[in-house]
Each structure stands twice: as structure tokens, then as C-alpha cells.
A and B are shown apart, each in its own frame.
Chain A
Amino acid sequence: MSRDKILTAARQNKPALVPLPEMATFVFAANDLVTAFTASITKAGGAATVLGSLQELPAKIKEGWPDARRVADFIHGDSNTNASLLKEPALLDLVVLKGQLGVAENGAIWLTDKDCVERVLPFITQHLVLVIDEQTLVGNMHQAYGIMGKQNPDYGVFIAGPSKTADIEQSLVIGAHGPRSLQVFICT
């Protein structure tokens, strides 16, 4: 059987034990995580805006995406018709989701399958809005995994920017297969 053949060969051919290094804890230099996070997400083709309170969100969405007809807002989910919208996710114009934490160094936002509602939602929507709390911002990936590393969700994803490609002559095109834009709202 190939399993045993591979495992036997790996056992016979592996080198003498090399110790596992201690994980270093690197500190993120910048103090202002909101500014650093905003710079990172902007570089990645997204945008970040600070929001005084969640109450402002519906107005911001109306203002930012006036033409969006099919909006699945899972932060103010009670008041809309998410369930029927989800029957045809490919037609969604805008999805609004809550992220668990944001990483200042690279603009990545962590969501598990529960945060995504359906795994495909943050990928299939034409535009994506992610909301995070300012207190959940961390400096780098070591701190991020320190917080969510033991969660072990069935599925989880770091999202850092809209879908993009540079496969044609290295020209950056935003909106490859997934969302054509990513707007992050940071709640203070």
C-alpha cells in the first residue's frame, strides 16, 4: 500500500532529529494601529473608514453603494431579507459581515465560517463590507494567531483586500473573481 511505502521511506530517509525552534514573539513597532491598518488595507486595494458607532452603518451603506439592490447586511440582519437573498448568492451586490480581528501589519481580517454565514458569501458578492472593532486590532500575525490560533474553526480565512490579479502583464486589476471592492469600517 502506498501509505505504508511512503511512511517507511520517510522514516528511513529522514535526517537525524533537528529540534523545533522556540517561537519568537515579535513586537509591532507602530503604536497607532488604526493608521497602520488603514495604510495596509489601502495598499492592498481596499479602504478603511473609522466609524463612531454601528448606528451610522446603514446610512454609510446607502451613501456608499446607492445602486446596490441586493444587499445582505448581517450586522443589521433582522431588518432585511437575507434568507431569500441567499438562495441566489451569485446575484448579491453587497454583503456586510463582521470580522473577528484585524492585523495592522498587512490589513488582514479574520473570519470563521460562522462569521461568513455561508462560506462562499465574502467571495461571491460583487462588493464586500467588513466591520471590525478597533479594540480587536493587533500588530502582526504572531499576535493574531496568539488570539485565534486555538479556535480551530471548520473553516477560517484572512481577507486582506478585494479580489485582484496582475496576471496580464503585471497590470493590477481589482475584481478578479471575487469582490470588486472591499470597504472596512473600524468601530471605535
Chain B
Amino acid sequence: MNTHNITHPEAASEFLRNKERVQWHDETLWFVRYKRDKVVNEIPEWEQLRELASQIKDHTLSRLDEYLQEFEAAAISNGVTVHWAADAAEHNRIVHGIMAKHGAQKIVKSKSMLTEECHLNEYLEAQGIEVVDTDLGERIVQLNKEMPSHIVLPAIHIKKEEVGEIFHQHLGTEKGASDPLYLALAAREHLRQKFLAADIAITGVNFAVAETGAIVVCTNEGNADLGAHLAKVHIACMGIEKLIPRTEHLSVFLRLLARNATGQNITAYSSHFRKPAAGSEMHIVIVDNGRTTQLGREAFRNSLKCIRCGACLNTCPVYRRSGGHSYHNATAGPIGAILAPNLDMRKNADLPFASTLCGSCTDVCPVKIDIHNQLYQWRQVLTKEGYVPAAKTASMKVMAGVLSSPARYTFAGKWARKLLRWFPSLAMNKKLNPWARQRDLPEPPKESFREWYKKNSREL
């Protein structure tokens, strides 16, 4: 699970070893993108909705401190206990503190990318507390001792035969079984027992409404609700960027979220939690963990508008062919590659380079984050700050020198054509040049276009 010493290209080459799986992964995610396009095109005002969502989020960020206080005051008056965590460690301590107070041992959790970001499960396990992830995809990766590889499709990298083997080992399903219906129903029985026995339920938050103090959680399985309603204590963990000002703004975001994420009109459940049920407790943990720092970085502030739909992953040619785990970060893909360097530049300096900058991510973003532009800008920042490997920086300097002078360019071209013909292995050495590993260079031409033109232009 701990793969942070491996860079994205290294991890990706591991994934690329199995060509058939790469093809399947690529096609599966592209199909999700296709489903998204279909339902998006059913909404004539789609572009207006994106613009509205973007502006609502821009506005919220520009008054974030005020909306956080408004939200807190409303939540407290609703009888909810509000906690503030500056970083992941404090978040984990707070959640553990609530469990310790109740002597809770049985914990169910519905999907939350924030608790993944904070590595809550590992922390609690070290305290001797087992957390059961209840989203089916997340339960699969949990049993397989992995991280989710996608924001909304946590087990998208795992084939059904492998799920069958994981369930055979952990849930006692028949060996060799791979029917999704059979496996999902086995998980249903297994997880229903966990829901009914749980002391505490943890959920994430999709939207937090400042004016009412309510939080909204969207699921298809109903696991957030089963957890929160059956346990006596509900802990909801949210990043500070989940806020929206008013209830009516939910109409915009609930129209965008599921359509853009999976091509559904809306998730099966959009649950609005405002007050705890009689005899129950509700806690909200508000987490910063680098978000206020990102708010201060003008070039990257926009990334805080993200509503975690995952569309930028589905459409990304690099993500689809390298897999979520190659990003060695809780949030993978283009958006993850913008968020990760903010948390740790040294560890994540490779991620903004895991992109072709084609801009497809920006085109599908429901809140108009200029994702590819921010990836490009991170490259500048990381190079300036000295986090980019020396070889890359040096070769870029040489290229810049060559490309900025016509004389040097002509000279270099002439010699490159000669050298490549005499020693083709110079550029195509698959050991030295990673670019050459899946590619073959065409035979170099005898002359450049410029030389050809000089010779022939007189005749024209």
C-alpha cells in the first residue's frame, strides 16, 4: 500500500505489464465517459449549470471563513457537535477520541475520500479498532489491503474473478465464483450484519449547507444511511471546501454530480442530515489539511471547487492507461495531481507530469476547474523550487537552447539525421530512453524540409 517511493512512470510500467488488463481498464473507463456524455446532452442548460456551479463555488471560497462560521453556528444550534482539525493527524485523533468516549469497537464507514487522505483506517487499526468500509467497491479494496484506485469507482482496477477469490478467502463464498450478482449479494449479507452491530458510523460529506448546518451525502447503495441510522453515533468528516451557501444551491450540484460521475440522472439516495435522531449523537469534523494553503495559492485555488465526480479520471488518457494506484496519492488522476503537490511537493513532484495536457479533463469538469492549465503551472513551480529530477531539467535546458536559435536548430538537425542513420540505437535505446519503450522511430530523412525547399523552390 505504501508506494510513495515509486514514481508515477515506474508504477505505471508495472501496470502496463499486463496489456490485456490495460486495454480492459481503458475501455471500461471510456464507457463511463460515454455514459456521461449521453445524459449530459439531455440537459439543454448544461453549460449554464456548469457556469452557475463554478460561480457559486468561487463565491463561497471568497467568503470561506464567514460561511464556515455560519455553518458551525447552525450545526451547533441543531444539536450537532462540531470539531475542527488542522491536519490529518488531528482529524484522526478527534475521531478516535469520540470512539474512546463511547468505548466503541464496531465501526462502519461509508465512502469518504477525506478519511482516505487522512489514512484514518491505518490509524485506528494501530489503536486496535477495526473499521469496516461498507461501500462495496471500497470493501473489496479493503479486504485486498489496497487503496481505492478511483474517486467514485474504488475497485475499478479489479476483475470479477479476483473479487471472487477475495470474497472466497474472506467471506467464504464458493471458490471460482465470479458472477457479480452472486458476489454482491454475498457482500450484502456480510455487511448487513456489520450495519446492525455497529456502535458508530462514519460518513463523508458531499455538500455542507452554511445557512442550515445540514450535510448532504450521496450514495447508490444506501450504505451511508444504513450506517448512520442504525448506529447511535454518526461522525461526518468534511474538508472545508465542501461548503455551499444555501439549500437552493443543492439543486445545481445534484443535477451535475451523478450525471457527470457515472452517467446517472441522480444517485439513488441524496440524504440531508441536519439534526441527530432522538437518542442519537451527530458529530461533524471540519478538516483543513492543507486546504487553506491551497486557497492562498492563486494559481491552484480553483482546485478547491472540486466536487469529486471523477470525470477527469475517466476521460484522462494517462489515467486510463496507468491505473489509479500509479498516482501514489489518495486522490488519483488529473485532480489528484493538482491536490497532491500542495500536500507534499517533494513526494508528489512527479504527478503533474503524468499528463499529456490535452485538456479533456478541463472540458468535462462540472465546476470549470482549469485542470490541465494547473498541471502545467505546477510543472513550472516544481521545477523552480528544485523538485524535478536533474536529468529532466538539464535536457530541457539543452532543448530550450536549441529551439531558441535557428542556427543551432539547423546544425543539430543535420547531425541528428546523420547520427541516427549511423547509430539508430542512440535514440531508440529502450533502456536509456523510456519514450522508446513502446515506440519505433521511422527512418530519419536524408534532408530536412528547409534543405529540400532551398533546392526545389527555384523550379516553382
Contact = CB atoms under 8 A, between A and B. Distances in A.
A42 B90 CA distance: 45
Interface string A7-27: 111111111111111011010
Interface size band for B: 35 or more
Interface in B46-66: 48-49, 51-52, 55-56, 58-59, 61-65
A16 B62 CA distance: 6
Contact of B248 (A8, A149, A153): A149
B230 interface: yes
A146 B286 CA distance: 29
A23 B248 contact: yes
A140 B247 contact: no
Contacts of B437: none
A1 to B, nearest CB: 8
Interface stretch (A49-57, A59-67, A76-84, A117-125): A117-125
A176 B220 contact: yes
A141 B251 contact: yes
Contacts of B56: 20-21
B69 interface: yes
Given A2-B85, A155-B274, A176 B184 contact: yes
B135 interface: yes
Given A163-B222, A165-B136, A170-B32, A108 B64 contact: no
A144 B85 CA distance: 35
Nearest to B156: A170
Interface size band for A: 35 or more
Nearest to A46: B268
A113 B214 CA distance: 14
Contacts of A107: 265-266
Contacts of B163: 168-169
Interface in A155-177: 155-171, 173, 175-177
A161 B268 contact: yes
A169 B220 contact: no
A159 B252 CA distance: 17
A171 to B, nearest CB: 4
A126 B248 CA distance: 32
B52 A23 contact: yes
Nearest to A11: B65
Nearest to A155: B273
Contact of A177 (B58, B86, B223, B274): B223
B292 A17 contact: no
B204 interface: no
Interface in B147-202: 153-156, 159-160, 163, 180-181, 183-185, 187-188, 191-192, 195-196
Nearest to A173: B184
A150 B134 CA distance: 32
A176 B295 CA distance: 38
A73 interface: no
A145 B180 contact: no
Contacts of A153: 272, 274
B136 A168 contact: yes
B84 interface: yes
B251 A44 contact: no
B96 interface: no
Contacts of B249: 23
Determine which residue in A44, A141, A165 has the highest number of CB atoms from chain B within 10 A of its CB, and name it. Answer: A165
Given A106-B265, A141-B251, A167-B153, A14 B68 contact: no
A88 B452 CA distance: 86
Nearest to A120: B229
Interface string B218-262: 001111011001100000000010000101111110110000001
Nearest to B181: A173
A181 interface: no
19 contacts: A2-B90, A6-B68, A6-B292, A10-B292, A14-B62, A14-B63, A26-B45, A29-B44, A123-B226, A140-B255, A141-B255, A154-B78, A155-B272, A155-B273, A158-B269, A160-B265, A163-B221, A165-B137, A177-B195
